[in-house]
Amino acid sequence: MKNMRAGFYLSILALIAGIVGIFQYMVNTGTDYFKSSGTNSMIYVFAIAGIACLLLRVVLEKKGQSVVSDILGAIAPVPFILAFATLLSDRVNAIAAIMTFTNNAQNMADLSSALVAIGALLAAALLGMITSFCRIAKAD
């Protein structure tokens, strides 16, 4: 652990943000207001692909395969951006409806998990972008 650079820790933060985004999306799809909207499996696919890219990048860079690691670093934010955009487009009408017409305590509670999922996926994308400019492991 002491041979790790800032990119490693930023990657861990991006992974955590991606996992929080997936978890909060699961919570959101089970709420009363959003249950009828169904589940968009592409959000899961994109978020898991981003997590896999980040994990693979960490493993490969620690093994010394920096070219593939650099490519994965550039690719990793893309699935998080796609997950964020897909979730936002799925929820934008509901967010507008709740904020204007159906604003009550229960609907706002249901909306909070959607907003946390959207924010977490955006954070994972931004951290992934920053991480792509950083090294994971220190040179021996």
d(CA 139, CA 60): 14
Confidence grade of residue 135 (pLDDT, cut at 50, 70, 90): confident
Indicate whether this model's pTM tops 0.85: yes
103 or 49: which carries more pLDDT confidence? 49
Binned at pLDDT 50, 70 and 90, residue 112 comes out as very high
Neighbours of 12 (CB within 10 A): 15
Contact 80, 18 (CB under 8 A): yes
Condensed to tens digits (0 to 9), the pLDDT of residues 46-91 reads: 999 999 999 998 888 878 777 888 888 899 999 999 999 999 999 9
- The pLDDT score that the predictor gives to residue 44 is 96
